[in-house]
A and B are shown apart, each in its own frame.
Chain A
Amino acid sequence: MFRISAEPLDPAALQRTLADTHAGACVTFEGWVRDHNEGHPVLALDYEAYAPLAEKEGARILAEARAKFAIRGAVCVHRVGALNLGDLAVWVGVTAAHRGAAFDACRYLIDETKARAPIWKKEHYADSATAWINCATRGDHADRVKI
């Protein structure tokens, strides 16, 4: 299951959806809102997504993970909206009979989601500037454009 959520994520509830007595491993990843990026103090983040396509692309990523790794269950949920420092931005959970596949698939899911899902992050900085991450077209910071 891959989902975009406008509501806060509940890791315990998400993990319960993966309950499976055939699984010997459950690996989870939590992406948190961090207070800095490339040396800039960050105060808050806005996430937005093109949800229908993000969920379709997410379903493709999950199917790829199932084909590549011997996993049983997999869930990825990504927040949208205004998030504060420490908030949970993304939760990934994978179950498998053995830990190796669960670790590998969890890493694959978060890496591919970051690279491919139409989700965007705007950072708010201590100096009142903001930046859409990865959207710069020139300048010293290859991956940011300040507005």
Chain B
Amino acid sequence: MITVHIQYFAILREQRGLARETLATPAPTAVALYEELRARHGFTLPPDRVRAAINEEFVAWDTPLREGQSVVFIPPVAGG
């Protein structure tokens, strides 16, 4: 298990019911963590509609997670 810090935005923040949490997870990758959370909290967006960011940079879904990282899942954006 590793501990990661997760921030939620927009639809994911509402579906999770909070903006941030620190979590112990067995997930080896960003996508595994998203699937774990999606199963637990009923996120409607499938992984192919979401991007991952670790420590304030976009990363590929199969990026390994490491202890203490900051993880953000990016739902489809809509600025402007």
Measured CB to CB, the residues of A under 8 A from B are 31, 47-50, 52-54, 56-57, 78, 89-90, 110, 113-122, 132-135, 137, 145, 147
Set of chain A residues within 8 Å of B13, measured between Cβ atoms: 48
Chain B: number of interface residues, binned into ranges: 20 to 34
Closest to B49 in A: A137
- Complex: A114 Cα to B74 Cα, angstroms: 14
Which of A50, A89, A115 is the one whose CB lies under 8 Å from B53?
Answer: A50
A133 and B78 form a contact (CB under 8 A)? yes
- Complex: A135 Cα to B50 Cα, angstroms: 9
Nearest first, the 5 closest Cβ-Cβ pairs linking A and B are: A119-B79, A120-B10, A114-B80, A134-B76, A133-B78
Contacts A56-B57, A145-B11 given; 7 further ones with Cβ under 8 A? Answer: A48-B13, A50-B9, A50-B53, A114-B80, A120-B11, A135-B45, A137-B49
Using known A-B contacts A90-B79, A113-B80, determine if residue A122 contacts B10 with beta carbons closer than 8 Å: yes
Using known A-B contacts A114-B80, A118-B74, A132-B75, determine if residue A145 contacts B44 with beta carbons closer than 8 Å: yes
Instruction: Answer yes or no: B77 CB below 8 A from chain A CBs.
Output: yes
A90 and B10 form a contact (CB under 8 A)? no
